[in-house]
Amino acid sequence: MIEKLNEQLDHAYDEMVSVRRYLHQYPELSHHEVETPKYIAEYHRKLGHEVREGVGGRGVVATLKGAKPGPTIALRADFDALPMQDEKDVPYKSKVPGVTHACGHDGHTATLLILAKVLNGLQQSFEGNVVFIHQHAEELEPGGARPMIEDGCLEGVDVIFGTHLWAPTPLGKIEYNTGALMAAADRFEITIKGKGGHGAQPHDTKDSILLGAQIVQSLQQVVSRRTDPLDSAVLSIGSFVADNAFNVIADSAKIIGTVRTFDEAVQERIAEEMEQIIEGNARSFGAKAELHYTKGYPAVINHEEEANFVSEEASKTPGIDEVEHAKPQMGGEDFSYYLQHVKGAFFFTGAKNPEWTEVYPHHHPKFDIDERAMLHAAKVLGRLTIEAFSRYK
């Protein structure tokens, strides 16, 4: 059956590329997806699948029932785009000003749709069901995964798999991890309130910029001096905004940044340390500073057995030259929520064209993928699905 799967995926590759390029030209922002979920739902309906729209907001869930009862395997793909201008010089360039698929979600969707079509043709051989989870709003917290789960997208699911087409990784390579693969992604905002005044009279002020600069510098100690070197963590400042007149000492300032961790205890400790540092610095200035810390997506923690299953099956898949136990990435992904409810694994599928002299990273305006990676992803996910019917009986 797997040989037939691969053969039919090869025949459907041109359609896969066509679907991906269509979606690339008509991207939609997180929580504003309208036409994309309609397109996805209609594609599945034409295949005869059971379809639910508006799942958790704008998600789509389609179910393919096998000829005989058995385990239910879920496959997930996201479909939202980013608020960026597409700067690629390609025929399929985005036609929506200021919006583009700069992370590969168009490729994820095309991969899953064509895989659904091919699996549909093998339905009579299945002893189990396949649930295709098309998720909205991965890029923008609170994300689409959690509301989709709350709306029942995982009901009856025994195991879930997902992949991310990964531009930094060479084509033909699969990267996985038996534990943490991607980090928890938190956001913080520090509001500083001092006392403004004339630039020539600093002694009559409580300089918010100076206090902010001291806070920024002190926060670097949270990871370098207050976190165990064996515990991975990142604390980055992304924005520092205050008044911009050359002769005014700012009355207030705002600092925005992110914290990335894998361990919940480390996450909690960092937030506590930040609070202490910010309060201490503000007190020394006779000013006020308030920390607003927002937890984002939790870390993507793969289940060991399912991650090893990915490794085993990917190594048998045509087109996959290498399967590597990869280092965790500090980027965030709300696939993590699915893994908190059912066993499963998330992995990276190499999408770096070996002939490209310059490869642009995810979230870059010139980002693109080698589209053959979609075929690799479909074959691995398809193989996992077929083998899982007997593995999870």
CB 192 within 8 A of CB 211: yes
Q: Which residues are catalytic?
A: 80, 138
What amino acid occupies position 316?
A: K
Q: Would strands 50-55 and 59-65 be described as parallel, antiparallel, or unpaired?
A: antiparallel
Q: Which of 266, 270, 325, 317 is nearest to 293 (CA)?
A: 270
Q: Is 53 exposed, middle or buried (0-12, 13-18, 19+ CB in 10 A)?
A: middle
Task: Please report where in the chains the tokens 């400790």 appear, as a residue.
Answer: 269
CB 71 within 8 A of CB 159: yes
Can you tell me the distance from the alpha carbon of 387 to that of 382, in angstroms, rounded to the nearest whole number? 9
Tell me whether the omega of the peptide bond preceding residue 142 falls within 30 degrees of 0, making it cis: yes
Q: For residue 146, give the H/E element and its range.
A: helix 145-150
CA angle 92, 96, 97 (to 5 degrees): 115
Which of 29, 25, 7 lies closest to 110 in space, CA to CA?
Answer: 25
Q: What is the DSSP string of 278-324?
A: HHHHHHHHT-EEEEEEE--SPPEE--HHHHHHHHHHHTTSTT--EEE
Quote the tokens at residue 7: 């053969």
Continuous H helices in 315-371: 336-339
Pair 378, 108: CB distance under 8 Å: no
Q: Which two tokens stand for residue 117?
A: 């079509």
* 94 in Cβ contact with 35 (< 8 Å): no
Sequence-ordered alpha helix ranges (H) in 26-73:
35-46
**Cα–Cα distance, 158 to 150 (Å, whole number):** 17
How many residues can be counted in the chain?
393
